[in-house]
Amino acid sequence: MDNSMKMRAKMQGDVAEVKVLIKHVMETGLRKDKATGKLIPAHFINQVNATLNGKTVLDMQWGVAISQNPFFGFKIKGAKTGDKVAISAVDNLGTNFYGETVIS
């Protein structure tokens, strides 16, 4: 596991609130390099999957308009303290990202 992902999962009543931050440039492919005048190639996370105790709860498809160092939050009903939330992500160049945390 690398440290490119920060996660927090907390119970609010019977719903777990999960917040995730992934370190990534999220380059659109539409920006020009000021020095060379050439387009900077697109480089962005495009698929993200969230699981609760190994079972998918949320699948995401992203385009280039998700902000740099993506943040996302979601809610899981029926989760409980101690349950495991895991995030897998992959970018358009095939780099994988993974993070997991325990609900508090």
Partner 1 sequence: MILQRRPFLKGIAAAFLVGLLRPVELLAATWNKTAFSAKTVMDAMMDAGYGGAADSTDIVLKVPDIAEDGSIVPVEVTSNIPGTVSMAIFAEKNPNPLVADFFFSDGAEPYVATHIKMAKTSTVRVAVKAGDKVYTTGKEIKVTIGGCGG
Of 32, 80, 102, 104, the residue at the interface with partner 1 (CB under 8 A) is 32
If the CB atoms of residues 56 and 81 are measured against partner 1, the closer one turns out to be: 56
Identify whether the C-beta of residue 66 lies closer than 8 Å to the C-beta of residue 50. Answer: no
Q: How many CB atoms lie within 10 A of CB 60?
A: 16
Identify whether the C-beta of residue 98 lies closer than 8 Å to the C-beta of residue 5. Answer: yes
If the CB atoms of residues 78 and 104 are measured against partner 1, the closer one turns out to be: 78
Answer positive or negative: Cα dihedral of 60, 64, 66, 71: positive
Of 5, 9, 22, 57, the residue at the interface with partner 1 (CB under 8 A) is 57
Of 6, 7, 43, 60, the residue at the interface with partner 1 (CB under 8 A) is 60
Determine phi and psi for 97, rounding to 5 degrees.
-130, 140
Distance of CA 59 to the CA centre of its chain: 10
User: Shortest Cβ distance from residue 10 to partner 1 (Å)?
Assistant: 14
Of 23, 41, 47, 80, the residue at the interface with partner 1 (CB under 8 A) is 47
Binding site for partner 1 (CB under 8 A): 15, 26, 28, 30-34, 40, 46-52, 55-68, 70-79, 88, 90, 96
